[in-house]
Amino acid sequence: MVQPLYSATGFAVGVLVGLTGVGGGSLMTPLLILLFGIHPATAVGTDLLYASVTKTAGSAVHGFNRSIDWRVVRRLATGSVPMTVVTILALSQIGINSPMVREAITAVLTVALLITAAALVFRETIIARYASRVSAMPERQIGIITVIVGAVLGVLVSITSVGAGAIGVTALILLYPKLPTTRIVGSDIAHAVPLTLAAGIGHWFLGSINVDVLVSLLIGSVPGIVIGSYAALRIPETALRLVLAGTLVIVATKLALDLHHVPSNGVAVTAIVTH
């Protein structure tokens, strides 16, 4: 059943993703947890499949425009996909709906949001300081570091659904400063497809997917992304990144406060819409 409130949320996040290129997982998962009261594991799993569908569409466009560096995508996926499988297996052993997993997801999500916000705010500073040093490294060493970055993203995205956007793009700009921005973004989006799909399928088998919410989000997000992408030509990117970073800090603070006030018996937040 399509639920208008979820579709409206999907539309709003879709517009923001279209405007800035990031913010999907960074905002959607916290919104599902804080606004709708959905269990963190279900929020993460649902958002991962939501991201895999939207990123597939984005990859098709970038592939058509030849703005994907498949060498970079392969390196990232070599690290991310195996670590995604390992992380999902670890979650299955602990118990996806256990209070410990809920607290772990919320804590890691809080840290990931703060890192994402920092990457958005200080991206130019980081690149200016370190890009030249990194570009002087041997190609083989850059390849190994790219695989390691992919592995880190695999763990982060599998647990929180956050990281493939701002963090991934910033890392790629540092490692491949000579690549055009469009190819950096295209490669990051293309890599996000197998990463979010593998993690989303894993969460599906763990039972942490809400199909009704997923469909409702996608109905809103598709037109939102189209409108956001069109409007991006008319709004300064720096201003948008700062607004998004500020939003992420506020959300991370709220999550941290909620985690701090979790009852001692560890009762998890229940989903408003069960699956």
Beta strand residue intervals within the chain, DSSP E: none
Q: Which phi and psi angles does 76 have, rounded to 5°?
A: -60, -45
User: What's residue 166's pLDDT?
Assistant: 72
- Taking Cα atoms as reference points, which of 203, 169, 154 lies closest to residue 48? 203
d(CA 25, CA 20): 13
User: What's residue 265's pLDDT?
Assistant: 41
Name every residue whose Cβ is closer than 8 Å to that of residue 182 and which is 6 or more positions away in sequence.
62, 65, 67
Residue 131 identity (one-letter amino acid): A
User: What's residue 171's pLDDT?
Assistant: 86
Of residues 220 and 112, more confidence is placed in 220
Name every residue whose Cβ is closer than 8 Å to that of residue 69 and which is 6 or more positions away in sequence.
176, 179, 183, 186, 187
What DSSP character marks residue 210? -
Report the 10 Å Cβ neighbour count for 150.
26
Q: What is the mean pLDDT of residues 4-16?
A: 87
User: What's residue 271's pLDDT?
Assistant: 34
The distance from CA 64 to its chain's CA centroid, rounded to whole angstroms, is: 23
C-alpha atoms less than 13 angstroms from C-alpha of 273 in its C-beta half-sphere: 19
User: What's residue 260's pLDDT?
Assistant: 60
d(CA 213, CA 116): 25
Residue 129 identity (one-letter amino acid): R
Q: Could you report the per-residue pLDDT of 115-167, keeping only the tens digit for each?
A: 878 887 887 888 788 877 877 889 899 999 999 999 999 998 998 888 777 78
CB 84 within 8 A of CB 154: yes
- Taking Cα atoms as reference points, which of 274, 256, 265 lies closest to residue 114? 256
Q: Which two tokens stand for residue 46?
A: 């649902």
- pTM for this structure? 0.78
For the chain, the domains span: 4-260
* Percent of all residues in the chain with a pLDDT value above 70, rounded to a whole number: 88
User: What's residue 105's pLDDT?
Assistant: 83
Q: Which two tokens stand for residue 102?
A: 């809920």
Could you tell me the pLDDT band of residue 21, with boundaries at 50, 70 and 90?
A: low
User: What's residue 114's pLDDT?
Assistant: 85
Name every residue whose Cβ is closer than 8 Å to that of residue 235 and which is 6 or more positions away in sequence.
19
User: What's residue 23's pLDDT?
Assistant: 64
Which range of 21-25, 93-97, 257-261 scores highest in mean pLDDT? It is 93-97
User: What's residue 85's pLDDT?
Assistant: 95
C-alpha atoms less than 13 angstroms from C-alpha of 145 in its C-beta half-sphere: 15
Q: Could you report the per-residue pLDDT of 46-81, keeping only the tens digit for each?
A: 989 988 887 887 788 778 878 889 999 999 999 999
Could you tell me the pLDDT band of residue 264, with boundaries at 50, 70 and 90?
A: very low
Residue 179 identity (one-letter amino acid): L
d(CA 28, CA 85): 23
Q: 3-state DSSP call for residue 162?
A: coil
Q: Is the pLDDT of residue 274 over 60?
A: no
Could you tell me the pLDDT band of residue 89, with boundaries at 50, 70 and 90?
A: very high
CB 179 within 8 A of CB 127: no
Q: Could you report the per-residue pLDDT of 199-250, keeping only the tens digit for each?
A: 999 999 888 899 999 999 999 988 887 787 667 656 676 776 777 777 778 8
CB 37 within 8 A of CB 6: no
